[in-house]
Amino acid sequence: MTDNTRPMRAGSRLERVLRAGLFAVTAELNPPDTADPHAVYEAALVLAEVADGINATDASGANAHMSSLGVCALLIRAGYEAVLQMSCRDRNRIALQGDLLGAAALGVKNVLCLTGDDVTAGDQPEAKRVFDFDSTQLLRTATIMRDKGLLLSGRRLSLPPHVFLGAAENPFAPPLDWRPHRLAKKVEAGADFIQTQFVFDVDIFRRFMARVRDLGLHQRVYILAGVGPLKSPGMARYLREKVPGMSVPRSLDARLEGAAEGIDAGDKQALNRAWREEGKRICIELIREVREIEGVAGVHIMAIEWEQAVPEIVKAAGLMPGAPA
């Protein structure tokens, strides 16, 4: 059912899909460690077949890669739907406002506002932090620029950036009861859509969404559940033990290990193949489960350095993304 209760923000493909009541699919493109644009085009070619928007991450994990703005410029040049990620870790409010104007001028219509991982998470921990803003402050600033046509200084913009604004949310970080209220703050700040952390524990996510519905937030913001394929039991353990705010049931480790039962431990190729096939099956099942939860408007697929798996997952899950004419 078409949503006419919310104003059209940018008219992006992603926004039109969501407003049309279709189940949206966005996917993450892992920026390459190169200045070669063809690396971006090759990854995007795989994702564009099945995604309504391609996220270009902004130095995720506090590691340097090709910039999100650069990747988005390349995506737009090739005719793809880009989602610009903007992190507050590395830029102050002056740079963030300037980048938002520059992105809009380049044709970016979707922007995801993030606080950003701390530098200690990356491979250059001696880097200086900025954190002039957090994600909610960035959202509020972008909303002022878009809706009021003003910079924070009060100077008027001759042409505001027409952008569809997003934010991230983690339903699994303690205290769990606070997470829906944190989401509400982002909605108040101007978030039009939300992409969540990986959903591996559907029970916790269901409880989160129940509270989101109690607060009426599902009627004010489009929520895309984060999903992704596990590559191995080791990846499942790493996410659970090393990544803050992740909930990965141990039953998933067991499933991955069981998928390789009977395979010689020395046959690494066979082991990896078995684990990855099971990881894709788990992801497909999770997509089908979250799709049935009221208030979930789509999925955001994060296939870490494995974009090639996304089309198979989307098709096997029965998702047929596509913007209305």
Per-residue pLDDT of the chain (325 residues; tens, 9 = 90+): 678 788 999 999 999 999 999 999 999 998 899 999 999 999 999 999 999 999 999 988 889 999 999 999 999 999 999 999 999 999 999 999 999 999 999 999 999 999 998 889 889 999 999 999 999 999 999 999 999 999 999 999 999 999 999 999 999 999 999 999 999 999 999 999 999 999 999 999 999 999 999 999 999 999 999 999 999 999 999 999 988 889 999 999 999 999 999 999 899 999 999 999 999 999 999 999 999 999 999 999 999 889 999 999 999 999 964 433 3
CA distance 310 to 233: 20
Lookup: tokens for 46: 């795989």
Up-side HSE of residue 155: CA atoms within 13 Å toward CB?
Answer: 8
- Residues 6 or more apart whose CB falls under 8 angstroms from that of 98 comprise none
- Domains with residue ranges and CATH for the chain: 13-316 (3.20.20.220)
pTM of this structure: 0.95
SS3 (DSSP) at 300: strand
Inter-residue contact 205 to 197 (CB < 8 Å): no
Lookup: tokens for 112: 């995801």
Inter-residue contact 28 to 301 (CB < 8 Å): yes
